[in-house]
Each structure stands twice: as C-alpha cells, then as structure tokens.
Amino acid sequence: MTFFPVFVSLKKGVRVQQRYVSKALTPGLEEAWKTNDGTLDQKDLRKITHYYGMGVPAIVGEFIGTLRGYPMSETERRCSTYQGAITGLFDDFFDKTHLSGAQIRSMLNDPFHRTPQTSLEKVFLAFLQQIHRSTGNRELFMRQTQKVFHAQEQSKKQRLGSIDLKALKDISINKGGHSLLFYRSAFNHDWIGAEEKTLFEMGGVMQLGNDIFDVYEDSREGNRTIATAPKDIARTRALYYTQLARTLEHIDMLSIPRKRRRALRHKFLLAISRCEVCLDQLETLQKNNSNIFDPLSFSREALICDMQKTKNILGYIRYYLSGPSVSFQKRQPSP
C-alpha cells in the first residue's frame, strides 16, 4: 500500500529534474567541453547530469519538501541543481587536481573575482556564481560550505593505515551530514524543530551507503572506509544498521504532522534500501573467499553492485517492503 505511491512520487521528481538538467546544465556543459583542457572528463559530466545534479534536487529535495509540507520553488530548484552540479567537481579539487586548501577556499569565498586556471575551475566557478545569485540565505549557505570544506579536509585521514573503524565511521557521517545540510541551504523555510539534527543523521546514512557502493574505487585509491577496512563485511552492515536506526528515531521524533513523518520515513527507506542489496553481494564475495573480505582480491565486476539488474531491483523492493525491523534482526556483531 505504501510502495507504489512513494515510488511514483520519487519517479515523478526524477523526470521533472531530468528535464530541468537538460535545460539548465547541458547547454553550458556542451560549450565548456569545446575548450576543455583535459581537467574535465566524462565521469565529471555524468556526475553532474546523472548523479548529483539529478539526485540532489530529485531525492534530497523530495525529502525536504515532504518534511516541510510543500515542494521546492523554481528558485530553490535552480539553487539545488547547481549545488548538486558542483559536488563532484569539488571532490576533484581534492582527489584529481590536488589544489591547496587556500586555493579552494579562495574560490568558495569569492567566486566572482577568482580567475579560473583550468576548465574544471571555470565550470565550478560558473555554477557557484549561479548558487550565490539564487540562494535565499547566503549566510547559511556560506556557513555550510565551510563545514563541508572542513569535513572534506578531515576525510584525508582515510588514507592513514592506523585509523580505526569508529573514526572512519565518524568521518563519513560528518561528511554526509554536513553535505545534506549544505543542500538544505537552498531551501528558504525556517528550521522546523529538530530538522537540522535529523537531516544531519540522514546525510550520515546516505554517506555510509556511498561508502558501501564505492568499495571498488575506494579500495583501489587507498581510501579506508567502513566498507574497505574490515575483513568481515558483517561489521560494515552493523555500522550501517546502527546509523539507520538512529536516523529513523530522529525522523519519528520530528515535530511535524504524523502523516508527513510517515511519508518522509517511507521515502527515505525507499531511497536507501538498495544499500542492503549491495551488502548482500559483498557478503557473498566474502563467503566465497574463505570468509575474509579483501576488496583488492576481487574484480571490478564482482564489487560493483549494478542496480539496473532485475534481481537487484527485486531485492531492493523486497528490503523496502519487509521494513527495517527485519533487517535489524539479522546478525548483529558489535560495530
């Protein structure tokens, strides 16, 4: 009774955003590609048009609209779209072009007077300028931008071999939480009760989910996460469940009408239930490897969880329909 209305609502949001991306982002990206110096690549374009630029307004925007009781405005959609569009480019400054913290802060603090040195910077600054023009709360946006920058700086510790699993979890939750609050700065309503804390926890779950799906790339790049560090994927599952349970408790305590709380809970669970399918896949790999999870010993095909496959789609729906209580009753080793 809940699956189809929730699914249709999210699917509709994706279709609307697809049209908006084609109108707002694609023309500028095509123009930028003509003078590309090599710092932009196809992966960047896909992140902008199919992942962050799509998912931030369509999924996060849907969460926030449900929480407050009305959908995003045209101005909020524009700001949210450009926030999503800069997300992958921002990561590139740390992972690909390796800019200094001072160089990145210079762009963040004053995008209108910074001269871009690369095609990547040029697109990033153009999108960031659009955010500054459309945000209804520049102070909140700037504050959350700095917190995301600091969280990204802290994530450099993931390359340290000595960092423990709890610290890795905290880094991911902090990064995801502040990222979701960064996206919240595109929306102009006042804070609703414990909304800030709830969104932070939701962002934490979503980042842990990213860690689970990104196990192949992170393991090859030397990034330690909750999915690459343990030799037992059950520990990853336990960490994920703990944060999910904590988040659902925060959603249930929001000071909004019960109907909106339930709707937010269902939309959130539908969006993140795919993580359980990926965890199952990784767990199977471990069982077939003398019960040791070592991502470096598995191929890309084995580690990548393709959510376009029919069996994975069905598994994803099954996990959503069964509800989180069933998942929490699985093996629960200590995180």
Please write the tens of the pLDDT for every residue from 9-50: 888 888 999 999 999 999 999 999 999 999 999 999 999 999
Quick one: 299 and 187 in the same domain? yes
Quick one: 172 and 298 in the same domain? yes
Q: Which pTM was predicted?
A: 0.92
Burial grade of 27 (CB within 10 A; 0-12, 13-18, 19 or more): exposed
Instruction: Identify whether 155 is part of a domain.
Output: no
Instruction: Identify whether 66 is part of a domain.
Output: no
Instruction: Identify whether 98 is part of a domain.
Output: yes
Residue where a domain stops, chosen among 110, 134, 158: 134
- H helices then E strands: how many in the chain? 18, 0
Quick one: 181 and 252 in the same domain? yes
> Mutual orientation of helices 26-34 and 3-24 as an angle, nearest 10°?
40
**Averaged confidence pLDDT in the chain:** 92
Looking at residues 71-85, what average pLDDT do you find? 96
Instruction: Identify whether 144 is part of a domain.
Output: no
Instruction: Identify whether 246 is part of a domain.
Output: yes
Structure token digits, residue 283: 């767990």
Quick one: 172 and 81 in the same domain? no
**Residue 215 reports pLDDT greater than 50:** yes
Instruction: Identify whether 224 is part of a domain.
Output: yes
Q: How far is CA 89 from CA 117, 169, 248, 294, in A?
A: 14, 24, 31, 30
CA nearest to 131, candidates 173, 186, 200, 177: 186
Instruction: Identify whether 104 is part of a domain.
Output: yes
Quick one: 81 and 230 in the same domain? no
Quick one: 121 and 211 in the same domain? no
Quick one: 185 and 126 in the same domain? no
Looking at residues 125-143, what average pLDDT do you find? 94
**Structural domain count, the chain:** 2
**Residue 89 reports pLDDT greater than 50:** yes
In this prediction, residue 2 carries a pLDDT of: 67
Structure token digits, residue 50: 């199919």
Task: Tally Cβ neighbours within 10 Å of residue 272.
Answer: 22
Instruction: Identify whether 142 is part of a domain.
Output: no
Residue where a domain stops, chosen among 90, 113, 134: 134
Structure token digits, residue 52: 């962050």
Residue 310 near residue 223 (C-beta atoms within 8 A): no
Quick one: 172 and 306 in the same domain? yes
Structure token digits, residue 102: 């001072």
Confidence of residue 324 (pLDDT cuts 50, 70, 90): low
In this prediction, residue 1 carries a pLDDT of: 61
In this prediction, residue 328 carries a pLDDT of: 55
Looking at residues 293-298, what average pLDDT do you find? 95
Characterise 184 by phi-psi region: left (phi > 0), alpha (psi -120 to 50), beta (else).
alpha
Quick one: 188 and 320 in the same domain? yes
Quick one: 263 and 126 in the same domain? no
Quick one: 270 and 332 in the same domain? yes
Supply the range of the domain harboring residue 272.
Answer: 167-335
Quick one: 95 and 10 in the same domain? yes
